[in-house]
Amino acid sequence: MADKITPRSVDYSQWFIDIVLNAKLADYSPVKGAMVIRPRGYAIWERIQAEFDRQFKATGHQNAYFPMLIPMSFLQKEKDHVEGFKPELAIVTHGGGEELEEPYCVRPTSETIIWYMYKNWIQSYRDLPLLYNQWCSVMRWEKRTRLFLRTSEFLWQEGHTAHETEKEAVEETMRMLGVYKDVAERYLCLPVIAGRKSEAEKFAGAVATYCIEAMMQDRKALQAGTSHFLGQNFGKAFDVQFQSREGRLEYAWATSWGVSTRLIGAIIMTHSDDKGLVLPPTLAPEQAVIVPILKKDSAPAVLAYCEKLLAELKASGIRAILDADDTQSPGWKFAEHEMNGVCLRIEVGPRDMAEGKAMVVRRDTGEKVAYEVAGLPATALGLLDAMQKNLYDKALAFRKENTKRVSDRAELLAFYGKDQGDEAGTATATGGFAEGLWCGDRECEAALKAETKVTIRCLPLEGQDHVEGKCCLCGKPAKHLAVFARNY
């Protein structure tokens, strides 16, 4: 049986690690800051990937693959880009037994090598747009790492598009932000706020960075995806010019956008509880487990009854398993499958069988109802749908409860508590998302971060229409509505 997991109220960070390790989603590796994604974790990633990939293709994108190594000189070509990424690079200096003339870095992101190639492929407006995406792993040598949330190597997708006009590139940036929001909310049950990053928080090399931000159960924010409008920065850095419709030479306009295995961390920290993993039914490798209650004489009949039920559930498209292991007690199995995030537990004992019933327990609410076995697949599908909706609604309600409009500095500081800037973050910490007006000044934002570890998560897309009043931090005239939070 899995080890006991630390309750969230005691130590939220340890609770998270306990879930990841005990549900066998991932494990520590012997490589600094890198993790191993175990089959149950990877099966979740495969489902996340499949849904995003479907949406990318539906919006006209194609997958491609670019080298994992990038010549160091490429990074230098965009000055903000190299400044942002240089401290985090892993460097390859030797290959095939010899020292290399020019070192390579392992890609931290692929704008540079992709735009180097785009120069060969883009001559005319007829070659545009290029709407490419890549699924791969990237490496960022982080000092402090945490399973799924921040690892030196992680899996992600990176979209890189090239366009004729600024307008089209901006539209693409917003379209992919919309795809991210849709998949996060509908498929991962993560309510997110879509917004623009402040100048201080934007991607190294971007003109503007847009993001989706989710609230975890400890009320901290987690950036769940980003979409960047890169302007002509990479077009110019890699000299990607094309003949326009008017016959002029122009630099191509760019976007890039990505989501990563970090999403699995967000899903865990949004839905799970002290018993273990809770997963949206869309993602659960196992949506239902049948646990037979085996007693001496009736055991063969109960097992046969369960096997028939299993076949029916599978035939309805439910990912169901039967746990017929007779070396473990039902109670042990209940705990194990709760730990693993199986959505529905279906208990069948001799009496249930005699009555033509089965006891169904929902992982999210713990509701336990005896249903007729005739029609159970349809019932189970209905319960899975209800669970999908409930997880989203619960997370949205939690975010709303923990979001506060603030109008001045005192109110904001009170919301976050005087000395609550602890690194671990506990579920008892005060605060959450604060919404307040902001002047837009870098120094004003930096001062808040230094004092409280609270940062501007985004300038939400909604609510920027009639910004009037004073900055809640410094009292100067406000330019934006901002969402503040401590963050992962």
| Choices 136-144, 223-231, 345-353, 424-432; region in contact with a second copy by CB under 8 A | 136-144
Query: Which one-letter amino acid corresponds to residue 215?
Result: M
67 contacts: CB under 8 Å, gap ≥ 6: 107, 113
The one among 16, 104, 210, 242 contacting a second copy by CB under 8 A: 104
d(CA 416, CA 412): 7
Q: How far is the CB of 41 from a second copy (least distance, A)?
A: 8
Query: Which of 70/306 has CB closer to a second copy?
Result: 70
The one among 32, 79, 389, 405 contacting a second copy by CB under 8 A: 32
d(CA 205, CA 209): 10
Q: How far is the CB of 411 from a second copy (least distance, A)?
A: 39
For residue 397, give both structure tokens: 């309600």
Q: Are strands 320-322 and 288-292 parallel, antiparallel or unpaired?
A: parallel
336 binds a second copy (CB under 8 A): no
359 binds a second copy (CB under 8 A): no
The one among 2, 51, 55, 88 contacting a second copy by CB under 8 A: 88
**Coil, strand or helix at 129:** coil
How big is the site for a second copy, counted in residues (CB under 8 A)?
54
296 binds a second copy (CB under 8 A): no
The one among 76, 79, 83, 87 contacting a second copy by CB under 8 A: 87
Q: What count of other Cβ atoms lies within 10 Å of the Cβ of residue 395?
A: 22
| Choices 93-101, 413-421, 461-469, 479-487; region in contact with a second copy by CB under 8 A | 93-101
Binding string, 54-73, against a second copy, x = CB under 8 A? --------xxxxxxxxxx--
d(CA 286, CA 333): 14
Tell me if 65 sits within 8 A of 134, measured CB to CB.
yes
Q: How far is the CB of 22 from a second copy (least distance, A)?
A: 13
HSE, side-chain direction, 13 A CA sphere, residue 465: 2
Closest C-alpha to 106, from 36, 153, 53, 48:
153
C-alpha pair distances (Å), 486 with each of 53, 211, 214, 219, 445: 31, 16, 12, 8, 13
C-alpha pair distances (Å), 20 with each of 17, 43, 49, 265, 488: 5, 14, 19, 9, 17
| Choices 90-98, 355-363, 390-398, 455-463; region in contact with a second copy by CB under 8 A | 90-98
97 binds a second copy (CB under 8 A): yes
44 binds a second copy (CB under 8 A): no
354 binds a second copy (CB under 8 A): no
HSE, side-chain direction, 13 A CA sphere, residue 180: 30
Q: How far is the CB of 122 from a second copy (least distance, A)?
A: 13
156 binds a second copy (CB under 8 A): no
d(CA 21, CA 5): 10
Q: What count of other Cβ atoms lies within 10 Å of the Cβ of residue 447?
A: 13
152 binds a second copy (CB under 8 A): yes
**Coil, strand or helix at 421:** coil
303 binds a second copy (CB under 8 A): no
Query: Which of 103/421 has CB closer to a second copy?
Result: 103
The one among 3, 120, 326, 450 contacting a second copy by CB under 8 A: 120
328 binds a second copy (CB under 8 A): no
43 binds a second copy (CB under 8 A): yes
477 binds a second copy (CB under 8 A): no
317 binds a second copy (CB under 8 A): no
Q: How far is the CB of 119 from a second copy (least distance, A)?
A: 11
d(CA 29, CA 13): 19
d(CA 423, CA 436): 24
| Choices 139-147, 158-166, 223-231, 385-393; region in contact with a second copy by CB under 8 A | 139-147
1 binds a second copy (CB under 8 A): no
C-alpha pair distances (Å), 317 with each of 288, 313, 361, 381, 484: 11, 7, 19, 9, 42
Q: Which residues of this chain interact with a second copy, rule CB under 8 A?
A: 27, 29-32, 34-39, 42-43, 45-46, 62-71, 74, 86-97, 104, 106, 113, 116-117, 120, 132, 136-137, 139, 141-143, 152-153, 155
